[in-house]
Structure 1
């Protein structure tokens, strides 16, 4: 909950400490941010043109992740993050429904979590993902409303990455856990349904983006097959970026034409990076939206 994360969060306008005053977070300079009735708080520094995932996308993600089909991926992220520290503060940037953050908190009993997403629908869902998680609405391309060095483990799961703002909140020698799809991920659906293709150089580009601020400690591939119904296929498609580009009626017709049940491959890489404690002027800001 938010009250457990006050030593982690910062005012998005002045970077000052925040205190809970009833249903409002406030800093010493008088900046105030109301806590929504769903339990999350908006710490947007300014209006943003990015609205993030829609209500339908979040609902689809909750259905699919709740079904357990991605359990090996969730377990791999939790294992990587849990091995980093016995009782860390965990920050997930682009947290979505909070499933991955909750799994990490379950694996580390003393951990506290903060999930950040620009989608208000995601923030609403993440607010109830775990008793030790706080949910914050913020733009991941802006300065995150998190104090310098307050985080032990950062997570980026199928999400945008702003390297500078993943490094800054991390404590010295803190770690970043990144989950990215490979070209084989959902391959049976990519061509048949016109899903977004994964760049063959994705791992290389990730290393290049992070190299000035992080050193890679390990990378491993997680691959398995899933047996999906048509409803499962609809959910996994509707929760991802392809949902923004596919016509709903044509998508439904294409899914109906698929065999049922359908074997679909999942393939992703879990990489662990350690923060480089370089001087601020030694590296240049790096960002990637993919």
Structure 2
């Protein structure tokens, strides 16, 4: 609560029954699932995860296929010293933030995401997570200099807000798909190009506000059955494009098992003064 700010006037928020309020009487109701929506405008269709996408993501991530990425992110947070507050920008269902908090007992976490269906899950993913619906491209409803670490996992990058909410010397961890990520499915199903930005381009794009510290890569292969492949595809942006190239029909026709490559790049940067 001490980190949150009113999205109308930027005053501190305080709990008042089942709402959050500021001194200027702006009020935001807490959802029964445990998150709060501070967004004052609607969201364009196709930009937020749907209930179906959030369900597919939760089911697939529960298989542990992305656990190596959680390990990398946890090491980054541990390296920040004795962190007290971690902001996950684009947290989705809270899987990565919850995994980090399991490893870092000193920290609390804030999950920011534009998808209310995803945050219903994030709010319950860990007892030390607070979940807030927000558009990452807008100035965040978060106080200056409160975060020890900001995580950005396959999410939009608002460089100015990363810098503003981080404490002096705070760390930013940007996770992107590696060059080989899901390459077998890209070829077989014609998925959207999901290869992440090159790590040197990430450092360059953030260079006015951050200095590079390290780059860590995690990769492995796993055999997925047809249902796992469907959930993997339907949890991401390809779910908004099922008619493109007959993707939906291809998913329906899947049988058997597929060997799939998972590759993640994590760029670690430190806040410049």
- Report the TM range for the smaller structure's normalisation: over 0.9
User: Which deviates further from its counterpart, 47-56 or 134-143?
Assistant: 47-56
Q: Secondary structure of 1:192's match?
A: helix
Deviations 1:20-56 (A, max 9, x none): 0000100111111110111100111444436511111
Q: Distance in 2 between matches of 1:201 and 1:214?
A: 17
Q: Secondary structure of 1:212's match?
A: coil
RMSD: 1.8
Q: Secondary structure of 1:10's match?
A: coil
Could you tell me which of 122, 136, 140 is aligned with 1:144? 140
Q: Which residue of 1 aligns with 2:19?
A: 24
TM-score, structure 2 as length reference: 0.94
Does the Cα contact within 8 Å between 2:177 and 2:196 map onto a contact in 1? no
> 1:194: Cα distance to partner?
1.2
Q: Secondary structure of 1:161's match?
A: coil
Q: Distance in 2 between matches of 1:275 and 1:155?
A: 13
TM-score, structure 1 as length reference: 0.89
Could you tell me which of 192, 217, 224 is aligned with 2:188? 192
> 1:256: Cα distance to partner?
5.8
User: Which deviates further from its counterpart, 240-249 or 111-120?
Assistant: 240-249
Q: Distance in 2 between matches of 1:252 and 1:27?
A: 46
Q: 1:200 to 1:274 in 2, by over 3 A?
A: closer
Q: 1:29 to 1:153 in 2, by over 3 A?
A: same
Q: Distance in 2 between matches of 1:62 and 1:183?
A: 24
Q: 1:212 to 1:26 in 2, by over 3 A?
A: same
In the alignment, structure 1 residue 273 sits paired with structure 2 residue 269: yes
Q: Secondary structure of 2:3's match?
A: coil
Does the Cα contact within 8 Å between 2:48 and 2:114 map onto a contact in 1? yes
Q: 1:76 to 1:241 in 2, by over 3 A?
A: same
The number of aligned residues is: 272
Does the Cα contact within 8 Å between 2:83 and 2:149 map onto a contact in 1? no
Does the Cα contact within 8 Å between 2:174 and 2:268 map onto a contact in 1? yes
1:239-250 aligned within 5 A = 239-247=235-243, 250=246
1:4-19 aligned within 5 A = 6-19=1-14
Unmatched tracts of structure 2, length 5 or more:
none
Q: 1:129 to 1:249 in 2, by over 3 A?
A: farther
Q: Distance in 2 between matches of 1:36 and 1:24?
A: 9
Q: Which residue of 2 aligns with 1:178?
A: 174
Unmatched tracts of structure 1, length 5 or more:
1-5, 278-290
Deviations 1:207-247 (A, max 9, x none): 22211111110002111001101011001100111111123
Q: Secondary structure of 2:239's match?
A: helix
Q: Distance in 2 between matches of 1:161 and 1:30?
A: 31
Q: Distance in 1 between matches of 2:212 and 2:143?
A: 24
Could you tell me which of 108, 112, 131 is aligned with 1:116? 112
Q: Which residue of 2 aligns with 1:74?
A: 70
Q: Which residue of 2 aligns with 1:285?
A: none
Q: 1:170 to 1:11 in 2, by over 3 A?
A: same
> 1:252: Cα distance to partner?
5.0
